Structure 1
Amino acid sequence: MNLNPSTLLRGLLVAVVVIGVSIAVVFAVPAVVGADHGYVVLTGSMAPAIAAGDAIIVDDRPAARISEGDVITFVPSGFTSQSDVRVTHRVVAVHERADGIYFETKGDANEDPDPGLVPADRVIGVVVFSIPKFGYLVSFAGTPMGKLSIIVVPAFLLAVSEVYSLVGKGLVKQERER
């Protein structure tokens, strides 16, 4: 197996590109994986099922199809849908009233249910799956240093790999000419 520095740099570059593409696919275009939204979990209220730092993919679902045991993401009371605040908790009871469907929710790591019921119109969707610890990478990618790393590091590695490849070929050619 040929493990010269050029091969290692190209392998590292491929790994960085794959991670970058994964971030873009999951969070910029969640429909590619059959969902509508992607979020990063910030607290441990759903541990051990979903931990802080995990990424979650959330799919729209009609309120009538949400049942006890589903994990939903919703806009908590006191916040508007334009706010960035979201809560992801498990449905522990569904209440059908004359004015609509309401959900009683609770974080798996919490002892008590959440105060107040969640009206169906505040539900964003149901968690389809989570990607452990991937949220840390997504959060980092949103920082200035992360954006710089996503662009500069792969470009630098590509440049070094190409220079090494060109210089290596030149040295081999010189050796053959001798």
Structure 2
Amino acid sequence: MTHSQISRLLGAPLEWEHGYPSRDAMTLVTVSNGQGEKSVLISSRGIRVVDSTEYVLAPRERVIAKRNPVKDALQISTKVAGWLVVSILLLFTCANVAGLVDSRVVLTGSMIPSINPGDLVISASPTRLKPDKGDVVIYTGKKFDGTTVASFAHRIIGGNAVSGFEVKGDNNPNPDVQKPVLSEIEGVVFFIIPLVGKLLSPQVFILLLLCGFGIWLIVDAFRDEE
């Protein structure tokens, strides 16, 4: 029995010390790595390669789980999707802070079905995105005396930047009385995210937090089992 023989069979350098065991004494040596495991049985008859599961049950920390292609693909997809969402949110936040875009939650149903209450509309300044017929614009609504009322998101159906745009809510029977000029156009809508405004309500936000915590517990439990 030599060190080199054991090391060669197991594929790993080992230092082996032994005394004078009884004739029936046997020793099982197992070496495991990412490719699997190898075992040798040392007895008075010599050394031979064996399957360790025929002699002992491997402890949990030494059991090498088989790779699951579906699970691996799911984990990679989840990570990619997560980083993609984070990147988009970060990019949007930077653009919003820099004043390149603006975001608002629609509160009324005047633009149904194109835009519903609770939808988030993202707009760009009219100096960056020229308003034209068919575009949905956000304009400053005013009374006849010039007092500001609120901001409205309606569609341009006619007019021009000089004499004023004719605007109308898709769900309204008649055009708006006010014809906003270019200086009253706050932004031109170029992207709509449905239902985001409703998700920002306190009740829904708390519910999402609880759901997220529950998902985290489930994922953590599966990790422990592995």
2:64 match: none
2:165–2:180 Cα contact (<8 Å) kept: yes
**CA distance in structure 2 between the aligned counterparts of 1:64 and 1:35, rounded to whole angstroms:** 11
Following superposition, the deviation at residue 163 of structure 1 comes to 2.8
CA RMSD of aligned residues (A): 4.1
2:161–2:182 Cα contact (<8 Å) kept: no
Change (3 A) 1:47 1:77: same
After TM superposition, list the pairs within 5 Å mapping 1:33-72 onto structure 2: 36-62=101-127, 65-72=130-137
Change (3 A) 1:165 1:65: closer
2:176 match: 114
Number of residue pairs the alignment of both structures matches: 152
After TM superposition, list the pairs within 5 Å mapping 1:130-141 onto structure 2: 130-131=192-193, 134=194, 136=195, 138-141=196-199
Following superposition, the deviation at residue 125 of structure 1 comes to 0.8
2:101–2:125 Cα contact (<8 Å) kept: yes
Unaligned runs of 5+ in 1: 170-178
After TM superposition, list the pairs within 5 Å mapping 1:116-155 onto structure 2: 116-131=178-193, 134=194, 136=195, 138-155=196-213
After TM superposition, list the pairs within 5 Å mapping 1:59-98 onto structure 2: 59-62=124-127, 65-78=130-143, 80=148, 85-91=150-156, 92-94=158-160, 96=162
Cα deviation per residue 1:75-97 (whole Å; 9 max; x = unaligned)? 211565xx8x4211112211525
1:159 match: 217
Give the TM-score normalised by structure 1: 0.61
Following superposition, the deviation at residue 37 of structure 1 comes to 1.3
Bigger relative contact order, structure 1 or 2 (CA pairs below 8 A, ≥6 apart): 1
**CA distance in structure 1 between the aligned counterparts of 2:159 and 2:84, rounded to whole angstroms:** 38
Structure in which a larger fraction of residues adopt helix: 1
Change (3 A) 1:115 1:23: farther
Cα deviation per residue 1:86-115 (whole Å; 9 max; x = unaligned)? 211112211525xxxx32211122222101
Unaligned runs of 5+ in 2: 1-67
Following superposition, the deviation at residue 129 of structure 1 comes to 2.4
Secondary structure at the aligned position of 1:112 is classed as coil
2:109–2:171 Cα contact (<8 Å) kept: yes
Give the TM-score normalised by structure 2: 0.50
Secondary structure at the aligned position of 2:141 is classed as coil
